[in-house]
Amino acid sequence: MLEISALSARYGAVTALTDVSLSVENKQIVSLLGSNGAGKSTLLGCVTNSIPATKTGSITLDGEEISALPTDAIIARGLVLVPEGRQLFAELTVEENLRMGAYGLDRGRRWRSDLERVYALFPKLVERRQQIAATMSGGEQQMVAIGRAMMARPRIVLLDEPSLGLAPLLVREIFKLIEEINREGVTVLLVEQNARQALRIAHRAYVVEKGRITLSGSAERLMEEHNVVEAYLGEA
């Protein structure tokens, strides 16, 4: 579904990604593992064309080249990013935040039924619908961020470190939600430092180090791979 080949990216003279190739098949969960500064967020920024990096290489969605498209056109094709650190609209309510998620869609009233769908997915948000986003806990904010992405009716969701800064219990809950979204037919590209959890729910995974893909394969295989355990599972 999403095909990245020979992608390189740099900020000015600083190289962030070198010759990265990665593919995400329809309806799968693919995890991208790597430590801080490995280039994970840059990769997602390149795919959504939302960062000021210079890039070369090809990014296709369902066979169509999207690397030169503006962000809004990419979203309209069903690819949505949940950015690192939630990035909610701090002074808007939960419901207004969710509604913004449907901004790129039609201008009609369809967002109301989408809203009900998102509330069904996140029942906890129903009673919080009028709460100002900034006053919520990290876990709740992450739910709003994912719910907001779901409002855009994505076919593929890119999640950037959804477990960052959350207590272990909440991390488990967030990962359960990701699996649920996937069961509903949404493809997921999951970027994580929390390798153990990310591998547990993924079909396949990639490891990125210093801007290069150094390891890839089925999640089970990577789970057994000695290097991965040593490099990433230790810190989780």
Partner 1 sequence: MIPQLVVSGLALGSIYALLALSLVLINKATDVVNFAQGEMAMVGTFVCFTLLARTGLPLVIILVLAVPIGGLIGIVTERVTMRPLQSAPPINSLIATIGLWMVFHHGAGWIWGYDPVRFPSLFSPNPVNILGARVAENSLGIVGVSFLVVAVLYVFFEYTRAGIAMRAASMNRRAAQLMGVNIGRVSLTAWGLATAISVVSGLLVAPLTFLDFDIMFAVLLKAFAGAILGGFNSLVGAVVGCLVIGVIENLFAAYISASFKDTFAFAIIIAVLMVRPQGLFTRQIAKKV
Report the interface residues with partner 1, using CB under 8 A.
48, 50, 52, 70-72, 75-76, 80-81, 83, 87-92, 96, 99-101, 103-105, 107, 134, 148, 152
Nearer to partner 1, 43 or 88 (CB): 88
Can you point out the beta strands (E) in the chain? 2-11, 14-24, 29-33, 54-61, 64-65, 79-82, 156-160, 187-192, 204-209, 212-218
Nearer to partner 1, 52 or 63 (CB): 52
CB 93 within 8 A of CB 132: yes
State the nearest-atom distance from the C-beta of 221 to partner 1, in Å.
Answer: 33
State the nearest-atom distance from the C-beta of 89 to partner 1, in Å.
Answer: 5
Nearer to partner 1, 105 or 233 (CB): 105
State the nearest-atom distance from the C-beta of 74 to partner 1, in Å.
Answer: 9
Query: Where does residue 229 rank: exposed (0-12), middle (13-18), buried (19+ CB within 10 A)?
Result: middle
State the nearest-atom distance from the C-beta of 215 to partner 1, in Å.
Answer: 29
Nearer to partner 1, 138 or 217 (CB): 138
Euclidean distance between CA atoms 48 and 75, whole angstroms: 8
CB 29 within 8 A of CB 188: yes
